[in-house]
Amino acid sequence: MDPVTHTAIGFTLAQAGAKRLTKNWAWVIFFAGSAPDVDVLPFLNGNIDVLNWHRHFTHALFFAPVMALAVVIGVKYVLRREIAFRGAFLLALIGVIAHDLTDFLTHRGTRMFLPFSDSAFALQIESFVDPVIYTLLAIGLAIPLLSNLVSGEIGGKKSTGRATACIVLVLCMIWWGARYTFRQQALAEISSRIYDGVSPRRVDVVPTYQPFRFHGLVDGGAFLKTLDLDLLEFFDPESAQTLYRPALGAEAGRALGIAASSHSAQVFLAWARWPRWQVTHLDGDTRWVVVFEDIAVVKQSTRPTVIIHLNEAYAIQSEVYERSKSSSGF
């Protein structure tokens, strides 16, 4: 999920009681809530290897103590804040694990069981941002602040915010349970239909920020389909966009095979949930253009793509990775 959500969840957990573990708890939980995402820093130049290394070992539960220790060392020795080392470590560990688990809720998921498994695990119930979660967390953090402002004016006892934070966390869990139910309903809806006269081989739904709306995906063998599904409206399978799998000749097939063996394509195909490719034959120095995209990203204009150019001798001329303009692609 997005950095704001990660940070707000960390502060809510601290308000629920974890802040009693150390002085200067806000510094600890602020950095712990974002620490796993340091894995994107080496790839800010747009290197495609970000697809492999983002949500890698920094998001694995086995490495969470290492990430927590790094946060504590940074707060104590770099920022020079007074902390209770053991308590700060426990608080940082809570923040790091909360980050890992909320990323597990998204469509991309996280490789949380590294180094024992390199597979990405995803509950696939959350989008990159969720307005309901935003609202709940904002309320949970605002109520104690407003209460303390009023108490300060009238000389009353200040609120710890613990009860409010606990209620908010419970409401978040209930909401995630509801989103899981919505996703199961959406899967049942699209898997029960016939598309172009055939039953789907595989279906999937990608959650959006609107809880009742999903980006549907259907594999019909000779074709792929993308569709918009709203649980509150009638679903018409004929409204789906069809993407045919073309039959390639020997030359185009060779170009595709060589392009797929490139580093960029290998990284991209390992990351993509629903990869699709296109092969174009041109005249001139560049004879073949092979494009890979992931149709699991909702908007076609924001889908990450890999473009491979080959010459007449099928030698790769260039590999271009075009990042999504939308963070939801990650």
pLDDT tens digit sequence for 84-138: 999 999 999 999 999 999 999 999 999 999 999 999 999 999 999 999 999 999 9
For residue 44, being part of any structural domain is answered with: yes
SS3 call for 210: coil
The answer to pTM > 0.85 is yes
Does residue 177 contact residue 145 with C-beta atoms inside 8 Å? no
Residue 294 is given by DSSP the state E
Q: Are 40 and 133 in contact (CB under 8 A)?
A: no
Strands 241-244 and 275-281: unpaired
Q: Report residue 107: phi and psi, to 5°.
A: -65, -35
198 domain-assigned: no
- Give φ, ψ of 152 to 5 degrees: -65, -30
End of a domain among 98, 129, 160? Answer: 129
Left if phi > 0, otherwise alpha if psi is -120 to 50, otherwise beta: which for 124? left
Name the H helices within 16-54: 25-34, 50-53
Q: Judge contact between 37 and 56, C-beta under 8 A.
A: no
* pLDDT tens per residue across all 330 residues of the chain: 899 999 999 999 999 999 999 999 999 999 999 999 999 999 888 899 999 999 999 999 999 999 999 999 999 999 999 999 999 999 999 999 999 999 999 999 999 999 999 999 999 999 999 999 999 999 998 988 887 676 665 665 666 789 999 999 999 999 999 999 999 999 999 999 999 999 999 999 999 999 999 999 999 999 999 999 999 999 999 999 999 988 899 999 999 999 999 999 999 999 999 999 999 999 888 899 999 999 998 777 778 999 999 999 999 999 999 986 444 434
**Domain contains 315:** yes
Domain count, the chain: 2
> Of 105, 129, 153, which marks where a domain is finished?
129
Please tell me the distance from the alpha carbon of residue 82 to that of residue 91, in angstroms, as a whole number. 14
Is 135 within the bounds of a domain? no
For residue 236, is it within any domain? no
- Could you tell me if 24 and 31 are in contact, meaning their C-beta atoms sit under 8 angstroms apart? no
Which amino acid makes up residue 161?
G
Backbone phi and psi for residue 204, each to the nearest 5 degrees, phi listed first: -155, 160
Of the residues 80, 114, 129, the one at which a domain ends: 129
Q: Is residue 139 part of a domain?
A: no
Does a structural domain hold residue 261? yes
In a domain, 306, yes or no: yes
| Structural domain that includes position 35 | 3-129
